[in-house]
Structure 1
């Protein structure tokens, strides 16, 4: 088994390559050629955290494995990362474990790639202003995904703690190449960050909507990536119900796990059949993406292990070819 830490994984796959890998995974899933059961969520009340167990098989891409990832928001008080975990990859022919990958970087990369894919298919071609609410570890990778598919000139960031937003601008500036530095602006209110933006990203652990619905304008595209439990809600219901297109990775998983959809459905403001498509259906050309510059489009992501095993498999193969990582003999033979 090859052991790959976060530093081993960084730079092994470009964002453009990750977007293509995610497109493959979601296309296979929506075509019924992949299996990604609803993840098992284990609450850890004493730490106010949640541990998730996410298995998947994408046979055509050689992806078989399970991701164990945890979200413990109070870890920040201990100086520890809020998100941690590992991905175990197995051989699709024999089921023998072949690799153990650190999962926080992998999760950020594939989530940024999913946002990049959704933005490519749903945002206006002339979109150039991005608003990001939530400036944790996901924010820089979200921006990388968007910048891989659109010419972004201005990035607005908002956090209830402005110091965190300013730290995020520094992290973004360090990660982006000198020739591709958009204008970075820290906003002090949700209204200031969202108003007039072309693309909005919400990346928080909020239990209540993070901006007023009245700020959403015709032509806007929203990527909501933070809500992964039925009690969590980033988007106001007044955004979901009138949107021209609401797109998810998996209808079944989104309707079970995301409060951004569960809460409007329970209150009668949205119907399950109102989901326009799975992202893999649009990527495969089976359903239309944006067809009008005035459409309001929403991508509601909850994460799907099919993406992890496909992206992880490519990373593993690259690592083997380049001699990256450490080999561990499990004594299976």
Structure 2
């Protein structure tokens, strides 16, 4: 029987700490296979993504659309689903809300990165970009690291204020900041989740900072100034989520950094090494993270 989970049910099935654990487990699972995703341009400027992935027990296909100007229509920019199959029987076992999985698994990857790499985990946390990913990362770092202080920066003050209000409902000490570069001085945890159409951050992170850069996931996109990325490469630690970042990590590519020489999360797990701060973690996205979400949902279903 197929379980069709709406956005709220999908979110409830994917607690951030457990999802980060599942992502970590997936990175050491030799049965995982993730073919290259299919990216199909759509008339009008949108994009269709088809992303399969499989392990010894679960197979998925993620089908989502990205329509950048959907906000003007009152619609989400990302829409779609993840179909989950049982490998042994071929039966469809679940249908998950695609945008919900995308937001939660992306934030859980950043959470895992912070667990492994952050010199300091106590915050305050600075979130630059107050959209869907900003909210997901706020929730993930609160649930998974116990962060209690949050600073929110956005080019849209109303969006920042709305996320501050949400943070306060979670019992967090939250406030809006209008100068993200200045706020870097007081925040050892930083997450950038902007639309990445232009440089949003030119300041220098603290020596004990952990930065998760999320917004720029194509070579043309950028959030962090190239000179900042080069400085971090010279005096700190760079890590990427997967080898897909070699051709997707816009911030690093535009800084002229050889991304192929930067270790991945899987490299770090296989061969832990001392962390030299500040840490810049480039979170580009990968179909394996969606597979991790499907694995967690499947296991929770079986436990019921």
Structure 1 position 270 matched with structure 2 position 268? no
Contact map agreement 1:89 1:98 (CA 8 A) in 2: yes
Mapped to 1, the partners of 2:231 and 2:260 lie a distance apart of 14
Q: Could you report, residue by residue, the CA deviation over 1:72-128 in whole angstroms, capped at 9, with x for unpaired residues? A: 232112111122221011122244432221111111111111111001111123542
Mapped to 1, the partners of 2:88 and 2:219 lie a distance apart of 36
Contact map agreement 1:254 1:261 (CA 8 A) in 2: no
Structure 1 position 55 matched with structure 2 position 52? yes
Contact map agreement 1:63 1:310 (CA 8 A) in 2: no
| Cα deviation, residue 26, structure 1 | 2.5
Which residues in structure 2 correspond to 1:1-333 (within 5 Å)?
Answer: 1-28=2-29, 33-44=31-42, 46=44, 48-59=45-56, 62-125=57-120, 127-174=122-169, 176=170, 181-212=171-202, 214-243=203-232, 244-251=236-243, 253-264=244-255, 269-275=256-262, 277-284=263-270, 286-288=271-273, 290-292=274-276, 295-319=277-301, 322=304
| Cα deviation, residue 156, structure 1 | 0.8
Mapped to 2, the partners of 1:260 and 1:94 lie a distance apart of 43
Mapped to 1, the partners of 2:222 and 2:292 lie a distance apart of 28
Mapped to 2, the partners of 1:36 and 1:100 lie a distance apart of 19
Task: Report the RMSD for the aligned CA atoms in angstroms.
Answer: 2.1
Q: Could you report, residue by residue, the CA deviation over 1:128-149 in whole angstroms, capped at 9, with x for unpaired residues? A: 2111111011112212222344
Q: Where in structure 2 are there 5+ consecutive unaligned residues?
A: none
Q: Could you report, residue by residue, the CA deviation over 1:282-329 in whole angstroms, capped at 9, with x for unpaired residues? A: 234x232x534xx1111111111112112123214434655xxxxxxx
| Cα deviation, residue 36, structure 1 | 1.4
Q: Could you report, residue by residue, the CA deviation over 1:158-212 in whole angstroms, capped at 9, with x for unpaired residues? A: 11110111111223333x2xxxx23111112232333331111111222222110
- Structure with greater contact order relative to length (CA < 8 Å, sep ≥ 6): 1
Mapped to 2, the partners of 1:225 and 1:261 lie a distance apart of 12
Mapped to 2, the partners of 1:239 and 1:39 lie a distance apart of 31
Mapped to 1, the partners of 2:185 and 2:120 lie a distance apart of 19
Q: Note closer, same or farther for the CA distance 1:184–1:26 as it changes in structure 2 (3 Å cut).
A: same
Contact map agreement 1:133 1:203 (CA 8 A) in 2: yes
SS in 2 for 1:163: helix
Q: Note closer, same or farther for the CA distance 1:262–1:114 as it changes in structure 2 (3 Å cut).
A: same
Contact map agreement 1:58 1:306 (CA 8 A) in 2: no
Mapped to 2, the partners of 1:12 and 1:217 lie a distance apart of 36
- Tell which deviates more after alignment, 218-227 or 4-13: 4-13
- Tell which deviates more after alignment, 216-225 or 150-159: 150-159
Q: Where in structure 1 are there 5+ consecutive unaligned residues?
A: 323-333
SS in 2 for 1:142: helix
TM-score by length of 2: 0.90
Q: Note closer, same or farther for the CA distance 1:74–1:193 as it changes in structure 2 (3 Å cut).
A: farther
Contact map agreement 1:255 1:261 (CA 8 A) in 2: no
Mapped to 2, the partners of 1:137 and 1:126 lie a distance apart of 22
Mapped to 2, the partners of 1:126 and 1:227 lie a distance apart of 24
